[in-house]
């Protein structure tokens, strides 16, 4: 049982809801990466992240990132995400590519969406599993 959206799990992850694509539960790391980062560094960070006994994290895809945004004020998620709206740290990076140069992102202050995050743009990162 996963509990309510925003529930903190015994391993330290936070349940953010069920995937719209797979219908399986998705869990977020309890905190953002320690610094904003570009796409390549963010992918490496996700692959190396360990929380509790879990080590299968990844950058959220477009749908997972949207689910995280929609539930950002619930339970243990509340107050843990960057909602400043600042460029580009107020944006969260996804693994969904826009083209060879950019990836999809969401600004968590207002839900703005776009493909403007490449290797020269440092954005906030919250990994999921």
With a cut of 70, say whether residue 100 has pLDDT above it.
Answer: no
Give how many domains the chain has, as a whole number: 1
**Per the domain annotation, does 124 fall within a domain?**
no
- Residue 129 resides in a domain: no
Enter the pTM of the model. 0.92
Can you give the residue range of the structural domain that contains 23?
Answer: 14-117
pLDDT at 49: 98
Q: What is the pLDDT of residue 40?
A: 87
Domain assignment of residue 69, yes or no = yes
Is 67 part of any domain? Answer: yes
pLDDT in tens, 7-48: 999 999 999 999 988 999 999 999 999 999 988 899 999 999
Q: How far is CA 101 from CA 5, 73, 80, in A?
A: 34, 32, 29
Contacts with 12 (C-beta within 8 Å, 6 or more apart), sequence order = 30, 51, 52
On whether the CB atoms of residues 2 and 15 are closer than 8 A, the answer is yes
**Residue 32: inside a domain:** yes
**What tens digit of pLDDT does each residue of 58-99 get?**
999 999 999 999 999 999 999 999 999 887 788 999 988 776
């Amino acid at each position: 049982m996963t509990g309510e959206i925003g529930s903190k799990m015994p391993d330290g992850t936070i349940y953010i809801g069920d995937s719209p694509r797979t219908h399986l539960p998705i869990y977020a790391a309890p905190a953002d990466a320690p610094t904003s980062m570009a796409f390549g560094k963010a992918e490496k960070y996700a692959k190396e992240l360990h929380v509790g006994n879990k080590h299968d994290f990844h950058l959220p895809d477009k749908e997972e990132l949207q689910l995280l945004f929609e539930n950002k004020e619930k339970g243990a998620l509340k107050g843990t995400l960057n909602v400043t709206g600042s460029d580009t740290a107020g944006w969260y990076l996804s693994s969904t590519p826009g083209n060879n140069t950019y990836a999809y992102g969401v600004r968590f202050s207002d839900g703005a969406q776009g493909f403007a995050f490449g290797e020269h743009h440092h954005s906030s990162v919250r990994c999921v599993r």
